[in-house]
């Protein structure tokens, strides 16, 4: 194992990013950086974020690949160990062009038929690990986002859309997640944060801790937080993360 210089090389501590290591959408504090630096001397550390690596570089710093033993972006679809890239996976490779084409045509057709007060642009966003579908479009302004959210609450546009997709593509093995204001995500079932655990399966860790703020049912930390392979810690802020780390490891 490449971690033998640590005090507890068989303990892995994984962190969600937003709300756990940093305030939501903001950058890491000098205090958190220092705590992680000291923690890294004791155990193996990594983050598991839902966004892409570029977003994590913005939040955790330019040296993120050097500061963590494991970096898992897009729930581990993009993964690094000690700065070296591990095998990656993508939505399109997994689903294949034919099936994706059928799905995309159906979504675009359904979107075109919807009665909506406003439409903007980018209704179907193609990402590495998922697609994101937005009836109003991802170019909506903040005000337009708020309007759509209210309209959707009253008219259940997204909820009905997801149900139609589940009925139309029952054998596709997809999960639909309404996590934000104006859209929903579509990704292969199982490609939540537990996806990252396959990268460490053969490393012989005896304890894998996970810290996350969205560990409640429906939150995007829920699956990894409740996974039998991890010891889950629910936190409510980066300060809470530091508090628990100090109790457990210092």
Binding footprint of ligand M1P on the chain (CB under 6 A): 132, 179-183, 185
CB of 35 to ligand M1P, least distance (A): 25
Q: Is residue 221 annotated as involved in ligand binding?
A: no
CB of 201 to ligand M1P, least distance (A): 26
CB of 4 to ligand M1P, least distance (A): 37
Cβ neighbours, 10 Å, residue 58? 15
Give CA 108 to chain center in angstroms. Answer: 25
Please state, in angstroms and rounded to a whole number, the distance separating the CA atoms of residues 111 and 180. 18
Nearer to ligand M1P, 3 or 47 (CB): 47
Nearer to ligand M1P, 11 or 73 (CB): 73
Whether residue 18 lies in the annotated active site:
yes
Q: Biggest alpha carbon distance in the chain?
A: 61
**213 contacts: CB under 8 Å, gap ≥ 6:** 16, 18, 19, 20, 219, 221, 234, 235, 236, 237
Tokens 């966003």 found at? 125
Q: Is residue 69 annotated as involved in ligand binding?
A: no
Instruction: Return the structure tokens found at 161.
Output: 């859309």
CB of 146 to ligand M1P, least distance (A): 11
Nearer to ligand M1P, 69 or 185 (CB): 185
Residue of 18, 69, 192, 221 marked active site: 18
Q: Is residue 40 annotated as involved in ligand binding?
A: no
Whether residue 192 lies in the annotated active site:
no
Please state, in angstroms and rounded to a whole number, the distance separating the CA atoms of residues 121 and 135. 9
Rounded to the nearest 5 degrees, what angle is found at the Cα of 169, between the Cα atoms of 167 and 172? 135
Nearer to ligand M1P, 78 or 132 (CB): 132
Q: Is residue 142 annotated as involved in ligand binding?
A: no
What string of DSSP letters covers 71-140?
A: EEEGGGTEEEETTEE-----HHHHH-HHHHHHHHHHHHHHHHH---S---S--EEE-SS-EEE-SS-TT-
Residue nearest to ligand M1P (CB): 180
Q: Is residue 16 annotated as involved in ligand binding?
A: yes
Catalytic residues, by residue number, are: 16, 18
Binding site: residue ranges? 16, 18, 25, 127, 138, 145, 183, 185, 213, 225, 227, 230
Residues at the annotated binding site for Mg(2+)? Answer: 16, 18, 213, 225, 227, 230
């Amino acid at each position: 194992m490449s971690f033998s210089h640590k005090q507890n090389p068989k303990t892995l501590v994984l962190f969600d990013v937003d709300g756990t290591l940093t305030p939501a959408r903001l950058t890491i504090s000098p205090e958190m950086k220092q705590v992680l630096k000291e923690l890294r001397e004791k155990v193996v550390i990594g983050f598991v974020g839902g966004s892409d690596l570029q977003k994590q570089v913005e939040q955790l710093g330019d040296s993120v690949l050097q500061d963590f033993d494991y970096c898992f972006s897009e729930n581990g679809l993009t993964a690094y160990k000690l700065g070296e890239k591990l095998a990656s996976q993508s939505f399109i490779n997994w689903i294949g062009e034919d099936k994706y084409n059928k799905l995309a045509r159906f979504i675009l057709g359904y979107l075109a038929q919807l009665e909506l007060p406003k439409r903007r642009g980018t209704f179907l966003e193609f990402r590495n690990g998922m697609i994101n579908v937005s009836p109003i479009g991802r170019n909506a302004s903040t005000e337009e986002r708020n309007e759509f959210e209210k309209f959707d609450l009253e008219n259940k546009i997204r909820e009905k859309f997801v149900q139609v997709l589940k009925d139309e593509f029952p054998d596709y093995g997809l999960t639909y997640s309404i996590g934000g204001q104006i859209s929903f995500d579509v990704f292969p079932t199982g490609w939540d944060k537990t996806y990252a655990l396959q990268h460490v399966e053969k490393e012989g860790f005896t304890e894998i801790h996970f810290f996350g703020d969205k560990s409640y049912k429906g939150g995007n930390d829920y699956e990894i937080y409740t996974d039998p392979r991890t010891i889950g810690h629910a936190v409510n802020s980066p300060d809470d993360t530091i508090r628990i780390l100090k109790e457990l490891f210092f």
